[in-house]
Amino acid sequence: MTVSEQGLIVPGSGKLALPEYMRPQPGNHPPLDSPGYKSTALRHPKQPLVLLPHRLTEVTGPLLGDELITMQDADLTTQHAGEPQGQRIIVFGQVRDSDGRPVPDTLVEIWQTNAAGRYRHSREHHPAPLDPNFTGVGRAITDQGGRYRFITIQPGSYPWGNHYNAWRPAHIHFSLFGRAFTQRLVTQMYFPGDPLLPFDPIYNSVADQAARARMVAEFSLDDTQPEWALAYRFDIVLRGRSQSVFEEAHA
Amino acid sequence: MSELLTPSQTVGPYFSMRLPWPEGPYVVPAGTPGAVTVYGRLLDGAGDPVPDGLIETWQASPEGRFAHPDDPRGPLPDGDLAFRGFGRAPTGHDGTYKIVTLKPGPLPAGDGRTEAPHINVSVFSRGMLDRCVTRIYFPDEAAANQADPVLQAVPADRRATLIAAPAGHNLLRFDIHMQGDNETVFFDL
C-alpha cells in the first residue's frame, strides 16, 4: 500500500482513498429560491438536487497560479495614471478551511463600484460619475499562511430595481477557488455598520444570523495605516475536509 | 470544532468587468488536434436566454488525470502537462456559451466502479445566490454512461439532460435549462 498525506492507493485493486469535503449546514448558504430577491424566481432549479459524491473531479480543482496576476492587480488605486477619488482602504484577511487550516496559493478575485456607487460596465446605467482612475477589479494569490491583501477605495451604495427604493449596501464581490471543485466560492464582503444591511434581500437571503455576519468585514484600527488608509479584515472560510477517509478495500 | 463557512452570494450582473479572460473558454488552445467545442444556451424558467451568466468547467485530461496533488495516482503523464482542465466562459446576449476542450478520459470511482467521461460545470449568474452544479456527459459513451455511478443515481427520465447532443464534427451541444420540462439535473455538492 502507498500512503501519502493526500490519500491511499491499494495497488492493483482499483481502490482510491480521497479526501471528503464537509457539506454545508442548513442555513449557511442562501436558498436558490429566495423570493425577496426577485431575480431568483426564474433562475433556480425546481427539481430536487441530486447528491454528488466527492470523487476525483470534485476533490481536485484548478490551481490557478501567479502567472495570471501582477503586483498591480492587488492595488486598485495604482492601475491608472492618477489616483482614484474616494476613501482609500486596505482590505485584508485569511482564507482558511472550516477546520482552521490556511488555504495557500489560491486565487482571490474582487470587483466593486467606485466611490460614487458606479460600476465600470457597459450594462450599468446608474447616473453616478465614472472615475477615469478606477476600474474596480483586483486579483491576488494567498501566501503560505492563506493571507491576501488589497488596497482599494471604499465602494458606494447604488439603487437597483428589485423593489421600490431598493439600494444595495456597499460591498466588494469576492471569487475564490480553494484547492478543490468543492471549495469554489463567490461571495460579497459588506461593511460594518452599513445602515442598508437590514433592508438588503441579498445579504438577508442567508437565514443563519451568525453565518450572515461572516460576510461583514471587521474594522481594524491596528492595521489602519496612520495618515494613509483605513483597514478592514475579511477572513473567508471554505469547506474543510476529512483528513483520512478510506474506502473499504473489500477482497 | 469546525468554523462556519462564509456564505455564498450572487455573482451579480457585473462580473464581466474582470472574471472572463480572453483565453478563458479555451481549456486547450484553438487548433489543438482533436479539440471539441461544447456550446449551448443558458435558459431561465421562461425559456428566455440568460445573458449575464458565467459557465465554468473542470475536467480530467484525455488520460483521465488531474494536475493536482489530491489525485492519489500521482502527477500527470508528460504528454498531459499542458492540460489546464479549467474553462470559464460568459454567456452572450442570446445566452450562448462556448468551451473548447479535449474529451476527458474515464475515471476510477474509488470503489471498483468507473465514472464515464464527464465535465463538471458551475453555473453562476445574477439571480443565483449560489452556483448551480451540473455535469456534461458524452453521447458516444452509451455503455460507459450506463455504468456511471452518478448517472445511475439520477432518475432515469432525467438522465438525458446531462448528455450533450452531437452537433457536427468535434461539436457538441449542451443547453442548460434552469427550469421547465427539460430542467437540467443539478447536483448537491
Closest CA to B173 of B160, B182, B164: B164
Q: How high does pLDDT run on average in chain A?
A: 90
Is the pLDDT assigned to residue A234 strictly greater than 60?
A: yes
**Cα dist. B56→A28, A53, B27, B100 in Å?**
23, 19, 10, 12
Q: What percent of chain A has pLDDT over 70?
A: 90
* pLDDT of A248: 44
- pLDDT by residue (tens digit) across B132-179? 999 999 999 999 999 999 999 999 999 999 999 999 999 999 999 999
**Residue B169 CB partners (closer than 8 Å, separation 6+):** none
Is the pLDDT assigned to residue A165 strictly greater than 80?
A: yes
* pLDDT of A122: 78
Is the pLDDT assigned to residue A178 strictly greater than 80?
A: yes
Q: Kindly indicate the confidence band of residue A251, based on its pLDDT and cuts at 50, 70 and 90.
A: very low
* pLDDT of A13: 54
Interval A213-235 mean pLDDT? 98
Residue A88: active-site member: no
Question: Which residue ranges form the domains of chain B, and what is each CATH number?
Answer: 23-177 (2.60.130.10)
The cell for B66 is 488531474
CB contacts under 8 A, A 135-194 vs B, are 135-137, 139, 173, 175, 179-182, 184-188
DSSP codes joined into one string, B13-25: TTGGGTS--TTTT
Cell 487550516, located at residue: A101
Q: Identify the residue with better confidence: A96 or A121.
A: A96
Q: Which parts of chain B sit beneath pLDDT 50?
A: none
Residue A80: active-site member: no
Closest CA to B28 of B104, B91, B111, B96: B104
Q: What percent of chain A has pLDDT over 90?
A: 80
The residues with which A241 forms a beta bridge, in sequence order, are A21
Distance from the A227 Cα atom to the nearest Cα atom in chain B, whole angstroms: 31
* Helices within chain B (DSSP H only): 142-147, 149-152
Residue A57 is nearest to which of B46, B60, B185, comparing CB atoms? B60
Q: Judge whether A15 and B110 are in contact, CB under 8 Å.
A: yes
Hey, is the C-beta of A81 within 8 angstroms of any chain B C-beta? no
Distance from the B179 Cα atom to the nearest Cα atom in chain A, whole angstroms: 6
* pLDDT of B22: 75
Q: Which of A111-125, A229-243, B10-24 bottoms out in mean pLDDT, i.e. has the lowest? A: B10-24
Interval A211-229 mean pLDDT? 97
Top CATH class, A62-241: mainly beta
Q: Kindly indicate the confidence band of residue A65, based on its pLDDT and cuts at 50, 70 and 90.
A: confident
Q: Judge whether A23 and A54 are in contact, CB under 8 Å.
A: no
- pLDDT by residue (tens digit) across A135-146? 999 999 999 999
Q: Which of A80-84, A113-117, A121-125, A233-237 bottoms out in mean pLDDT, i.e. has the lowest? A: A121-125
* pLDDT of A244: 47
Q: How far apart are CA A242 and CA B44, in angstroms?
A: 36
* pLDDT of A250: 42
Is the pLDDT assigned to residue A10 strictly greater than 90?
A: no
* pTM, entire model: 0.94
CB-based contact B17 A136, cutoff 8 Å: yes
**Cα dist. B134→A43, A52, B119, B124 in Å?**
14, 9, 9, 12
Q: How far apart are CA B163 and CA B77, in angstroms?
A: 28
Residue A221 φ then ψ, to 5°: -70, -30
CB-based contact A184 B131, cutoff 8 Å: yes
Distance from the B181 Cα atom to the nearest Cα atom in chain A, whole angstroms: 10
**Cα dist. B103→B28, B35, B42 in Å?**
11, 8, 21
Q: Choose the catalytic residue: A21, A37, A119, A232.
A: A119
First to last CA, chain B: 22
